[in-house]
Structure 1
């Protein structure tokens, strides 16, 4: 089952994406106003049961990010062996993972355009899997980490490359331009380890494969990400962890191949779906 947040007829709704369109479920669950509140209640299974056999309610709608009210988005940087080598600084695999925050204002939904700002044109793509926490926890053991995942989605962790170099230890400003990235199209409930352990990320720009790798090659596997992050903060239902991108981002070509208006970026992961976005200049 695929659960999305959409805009239709002047209102924002959540529900199930099915063959032929969208089934609005939020009117029947007004005590849970958003998918984030459904996650917090541990109620994705109730949504799934409610969607069974329901007729399509909307065939025309636009996708929003699945949880527009997400509060905490943590991103893991440089998490594939070849990504570390891309930096050409002679460093070995780091002992600890790199982390940085992103905010919901920096993302748009599936089939919406990424926005390139006038201040800088080094807009880049990064295809990644996102895990959504469903069960709170502090100092979670790696072997128990998957028990804390409620759902999966995809991210284009779009970056203004020049702006991640504005400070010695800080990438926040290059990672949070309005609508520079995308999350979606939907949430897929997490059932078992194979959804992550066997997952393959493919990123295409205008149909050309730019990134292609498997999650089992991560330097810091998702189990370790959850364990490490929960050491210093209590993970809460609705938290998102953007887990890392493979080699092949535009900045690493010679010359760099940054995104420009009219480009189409597709991020595909088996078992989750395809996140697709165009690119436009900020009006």
Structure 2
């Protein structure tokens, strides 16, 4: 099943997405206000049972960022071999992964516009898979890492490139412009290792294939990411790890191919879905 956060008539809901519409499940979980709270409470597995036999409640709705109240989002940077080579600095594969935080306010939902700010027009795309932690833990082994994943989703980790260069060791300000990225459309329960081990991620811009790679080529596989991150912090249910983007971001073309209003960006992984967004300039 596909679980999403969506809005209609001024209200926000979480529930199941079907071919004919959405089924809101808020009334079935009165103690939880969001998918994040459902996962944090360990009730994610109950969602499918709650949806059985229920009719569609909404045919017209707007997708929201799939977990708009997520408290901790960690992103892994430069995680594909070709991506490391794109920097043209002669560096070998790093010993440890690069990490940086993103905040939920920087993401919009599926079929919503990415917003290009007036301060800088170097808005770029990064297609990625994100994993949602369902079982917390500290010093998690690689062997047991997948047991801690509840769900998968897609991320367009939109970046204002010039602003990641404002400081020597800090990319945070270029990675957190409001509504510069997207996450969704929905959460897909993680039930099979093949969902990650055999996954191919592709990013299209206006129909042109820009990014195309498989997760098994990551320099730091997802098992290692969970092991490493849980060494220094206790992972908690509802935490999100954005796992890394392949080569082919707009900044790496000559000249760069940054996003402009009217562009359509699609991030796809078979078995998860397609996250689609347009691009608009921020309105005063």
Same fold? TM cut 0.5: yes
User: How many residues get paired?
Assistant: 283
CA offset digits 1:41-70 (Å, max 9, x no partner) = 222221101112221110000001111110
The whole-number CA distance in structure 1 between the counterparts of 2:26 and 2:152 is: 20
Q: Deviations 1:115-149 (Å, cap 9, x if unpaired)?
A: 00001000000000000001010000011100000
Task: Give the Cα–Cα distance (whole angstroms) in 2 for the partners of residues 154 and 191 of structure 1.
Answer: 16
Structure 2 residue 169 is the aligned partner of structure 1 residue 188: no
Matches within 5 A, 1:122-137: 122-137=122-137
CA distance in 1, matches of 2:207, 2:52: 35
Match of 1:116 in 2: 116
Root-mean-square deviation (CA, aligned residues, Å) is 0.6
1:143 counterpart SS class: coil
Q: 1:186-212, CA deviations, whole angstroms, 9 ceiling, x for partnerless residues?
A: 000110211100111000000000000
- What CA deviation, in whole Å up to 9, does each residue of 1:160-199 have, x standing for no partner? 0000000000000000001000000000011021110011
Tell me which moved more, 234-243 or 50-59.
Answer: 50-59
Q: Which residue of 1 aligns with 2:272?
A: 272
Could you list the runs of 5+ residues in structure 2 that have no partner in the other structure? none
Q: In 1, Cα distance between the equivalents of 2:280 and 2:264?
A: 10
Q: What TM-score results when the alignment is normalised by the length of structure 2?
A: 0.99
Q: Which residue of 1 aligns with 2:282?
A: 282
2:164 is matched with which residue? 164
Partner Cα distance (2:254, 2:87) in 1:
13
Runs (4+) of structure 1 exceeding 6 A deviation are none
- Correspondence for 2:248: 248
Once the two structures are superposed, what CA deviation does each residue of 1:95-125 show, in whole Å capped at 9, x if it has no partner? 0000000001111000000000001000000
Distance 1:65 1:262 in 2: 21
Secondary structure of residue in 1 paired with 2:168: coil
Residues in 1 aligned to 2:61 and 2:222: alpha-carbon distance in whole angstroms: 33
Q: Describe how 1:1-283 pairs up with structure 2 within 5 A.
A: 1-283=1-283
Which region of structure 1 is more displaced relative to structure 2, 258-267 or 21-30?
21-30
C-alpha deviations, 1:206-259, integer Å up to 9, x for none? Answer: 000000000000000000000000000000000000000000000000000000
If the length of structure 1 is used for normalisation, what is the TM-score?
0.99
CA distance in 2, matches of 1:192, 1:231: 25
2-side partners of 1:81 and 1:45: how far apart? 36
Q: Distance in 2 between matches of 1:58 and 1:170?
A: 42
SS across alignment from 1:70? coil
CA distance in 1, matches of 2:223, 2:91: 24
- 1:143, 1:46 → 2: CA distance? 26
